[in-house]
Amino acid sequence: MIEKKETSNIIDLSRSLKQKETEIELLQQTFTEIGSELDLDRVFQIVSDRARELIGAETLLIPLLDDNCETYTYRGGAGKNASEIVGESMPLEFGVCGWVWKQKRPWWQGMLDELSSEEKNRWEKEAGNMILVPLQGKRNFLGGIAGLDKIGGGNFDKKDLNLLQLFASIVSVAIENAMVVQKMETLHELKENYRLHLEKVNKQLIESSEKQEYLSLYDSVTALPNRSLFHDRLSRDISEAQLLEARSAAGQEDAHIGILLIDIDRFKEVNDTHGHEHGDAMLSKIARRFESETGVQETLASLGGDVFIVVLPGHDQQQSLARAERYSQSLKDGFDIKHTSHVVSSSIGIAVYPQHGRTASALLSHADFSMHKAKESNVKIYTYDAAEDHLAQGHLEMIADVRKALDERQFELYYQPKVSAGDCRLIAAEALGRWHSETRGEVPPGIFIELLEKNNLIDEYTYWAIETALSQAKKWRSEKNVLRIAVNLSPRTLMHPEFKTNIDRIIKSRSDGELLTFEITENIFLSEFDRLSEMLGHVCSLGIELSIDDYGTGYSSLSRLSRLPISELKIDQSFIKEMLANKNDEVVVRSTIELAHNLNMNVVAEGVEEQLAMDLLKKLGCDTIQGFLISKPMPAEKFEAFFDM
Ligand code: C2E
Ligand code: MG
Ligand code: MG
C-alpha cells in the first residue's frame, strides 16, 4: 500500500518536474525569440502565443495603456476571438483592465463577478474565468497580459498566476524596447514628412517669387521689359552719361541719349474688329520687328498696350531721328490676321538727353508730349521743342507758386479710409496732399509733389504733412477713436542726413508714433541698404509702422524687403484695376498676397472701385481695402462721419 502511494508520488513528482522543464523551456524560448525582435507586431504575436500555451488559456490578450492615459488598446492576442478583439480601444473605466489600473493589483480569479454588466466589455461578458497580470516596463507602466477561460474548463489557479507574472516580468522590457523603437520610427517618419513638406513649400515659394519677379519686370503680351525695367535702364544710362560728362574735358561734346516713344496708330480698331486675342498676337509680332532694329546696348520696352519705348545711348538728335525712321519703316510690310494682311503705322515722339531733360521722368514726359504732337499734326515723327510746350514754359512761375503755397500754408490734407476686407471696419486712414491754388485751381498731387521734390522743398512739405496728420490723429484719439494715419514719405526725405533729428523732434513719445504709418515707394529699396535698414529700424523703434506703397510698379526684390521691418504692402492700383479682366494681373495679386503673408506683412489693395474687385480680393485673402468703392479722400471734418458708421 505504502509502496503504491510512493510510486504514485514519484510519478506525480516526475510529471510536475517534466511540466516545470517544459515551462522553463517555453520561457527561455520566448526570451530568446523576442530578445532580438524589434518589430512590435511580431513581439506581441510571440508573447501572446507563448503566454497562451503557458497558462492554457482559450484566449490570450495584451491590453496596453494608450499615450493619452485615458484609454487602452488590445495590441496583441491569440486564440478564440483574438482577431476580432485586437485593435479595439476602450476607456480606462471600462472592463477588467480599468479595474486592475484602479485597484493596482493583479486579477486572477472569479473577480469578473465584481464588475457590473455595464462595466464589462463584450468579450468579458462571455468569459467564464479570467486572469490578468500587469506589464510593468523599466520606465512606464505598460498595461497587462490577460487570459480568458482555461482550455478544457475549470479555473486559472495560483500557479497560473505566478507563471504569468514571471512571464510578464521577462517580456515587459522587450515590449517596452520595441515600443520605444516604433515611437522613434514614427517620429522619424513624421520629421521626414515634415521636411519633405517644407521642401515643397519652399520650392513653390521660390517659383512664385521668380514668376512674380518676371511679371514685375516684363510685359506679358510682348515679353519685352516693362515700364519699371525701362525706368531702371534709362536711369542707369543717364548716370553713365553724367559720369562721362564729369570726366570729359570742358568744351567737349555732351554724352547723348535718344528716347523714342512709339505709339501704334489706330490700334484700337484692330482690337475692336478682330478681338483682343488677335490684337495681342499682332503686338507681339510688332515687338519682334522692333526688336530686330534694336542693338544690344539699347533698350526696347513696352509701356503697356500699343505703346513702345526705345532708349538709345550715344544718340544725338540727328541720330535719333534716323533711327526713328527705321522703326517706322519696319512696319511697312503687313501683318497677317486671319489670313489677311493688315498694315499699321506709328507715331514717334523723340526727346534727347541732355537738351530735352536730365531726368528719366522729364525725358519720358517730353517724348510723350512729342508723340502726341506727331499724332495731332499728322507727321510720323516729331522731335521735342520746348517752345511748343506751354506747361514747361510756365515752369518757373509754377515753382514760385509752390514756394508761396508752402509759406502760406495753402496745402491741406485729405483723408481716405483703409477698411478691413472682411467686415469693412475702419482701420486706418491715408493722408493725401491737396493744393487749391487761387490762380491755378485744383493742382493734382502728382504735379506739385514732383515740383516740391525737384526744387528741394519736399522735406519742408513732408514734415508739415507728418505734423498735421499727427495732430489730427491725436484729436481723433481723444474725441473719437485711435486710428493710425498713413503719411506718404518721399525716399529723399527719409534718406536725408537730418531726417533722424527732425523725426525725433516731431515724435515725442511712443504713443505718438503708434498713431502713424509711413508709406514709402518701393524704389527706396534701390538705396544703400545698410543706411536704409538703420533708418527704418529707427522709425519702427518710435512705434511708427512702415508700408510699401505702389508695390509692383518699381523694382524691388522681396528677399531684400523681407530683411526690413515692414508691416504692410500696398498692391498698386494698376493691378487691382486690371485684375478682373487680365488673368496675369490676378496672378500677380494672388502671389503678392501669398508672399506678403509668408513674410508676415499685411496686404492693402489700392484703387478698389468695383464690388467685383472687392469680392475677388476677399477671396484671395487680401486684408485691407482702400478705394473709391469705400470712399474718395475727403477733408477731416467729412471723414469723421466714418467713425460713426
Ligand atoms: P498714393 O500714395 O498711391 O495714393 C493713392 C492715390 O490713389 C491717391 O491719389 C488716391 O486719391 C488715389 N485713389 C485711391 N483710391 C482710388 C480709386 O479707387 N480709384 C482711383 N482712380 N484712384 C484712387 P492722389 O491723392 O491723387 O495722390 C497721388 C499720389 O501722390 C499718391 O499716391 C502719392 O504718391 C502722392 N502724394 C499724395 N499726397 C502726398 C504727400 O503728402 N506726400 C507725398 N510724398 N506724396 C503724396
Ligand atoms: Mg500712398
Ligand atoms: Mg499707392
Question: Is the pLDDT score of 607 beyond 90?
Answer: yes
Please write the tens of the pLDDT for every residue from 373-386. Answer: 898 888 999 999 87
Task: Judge if the beta carbon of residue 627 lies within 6 A of ligand 1.
Answer: yes
Mutation test residue for ligand 1: of 416, 432, 551, the one with most atoms within 8 Å of CB: 432
Residue 608: what residue type? V
Nearest ligand, measured from the Cα of 445:
1
If we measure between CA atoms, which residue out of 57, 265, 73 comes closest to residue 150? 57
Task: Judge if the beta carbon of residue 549 lies within 6 A of ligand 1.
Answer: yes
**What are the DSSP E strand ranges found in 479-588?**
484-488, 516-521, 545-551, 568-571
Q: CATH for 411-644?
A: 3.20.20.450
Residue 251 is predicted with a pLDDT of 47
Q: Name the residue with higher pLDDT: 260 or 395.
A: 260
b/e burial code for range 462-490 (CB count within 10 A of at least 16 → b): bbebbebbbebbeebeeeeeebbbbbbbb
Using the mean position of ligand 1's atoms as its centre, give its distance from the Cα of residue 400 in Å.
Answer: 24
* pTM of model > 0.85: no
Q: CATH for 225-388?
A: 3.30.70.270
Task: Judge if the beta carbon of residue 251 lies within 6 A of ligand 1.
Answer: no
Nearest ligand, measured from the Cα of 607:
1
Question: Is the pLDDT score of 187 beyond 50?
Answer: yes
Q: What is the residue whose three cell numbers read 515643397? A: 200
Please write the tens of the pLDDT for every residue from 462-477. Answer: 999 999 999 999 999 9
* Cβ–Cβ < 8 Å for 214, 206: no
- 17-176 maps to CATH 1.10.10.10: no
Beta strands 516-521 and 484-488 are parallel
Task: Judge if the beta carbon of residue 444 lies within 6 A of ligand 1.
Answer: yes
Task: Judge if the beta carbon of residue 241 lies within 6 A of ligand 1.
Answer: no
Task: Judge if the beta carbon of residue 628 lies within 6 A of ligand 1.
Answer: yes
**What are the DSSP E strand ranges found in 474-623?**
484-488, 516-521, 545-551, 568-571, 602-605
Average pLDDT for 573-597: 89
273 — pLDDT class (breaks 50, 70, 90): confident
**Residue 187, C-alpha cell as written in the block:** 517620429
Average pLDDT for 44-55: 91
Please write the tens of the pLDDT for every residue from 443-500. Answer: 889 889 988 988 889 999 999 999 999 999 999 999 999 999 999 998 889 888 899 9
Domain layout of the chain by residue ranges = 17-176, 225-388, 411-644
Nearest ligand, measured from the Cα of 576:
1
Task: Judge if the beta carbon of residue 465 lies within 6 A of ligand 1.
Answer: yes
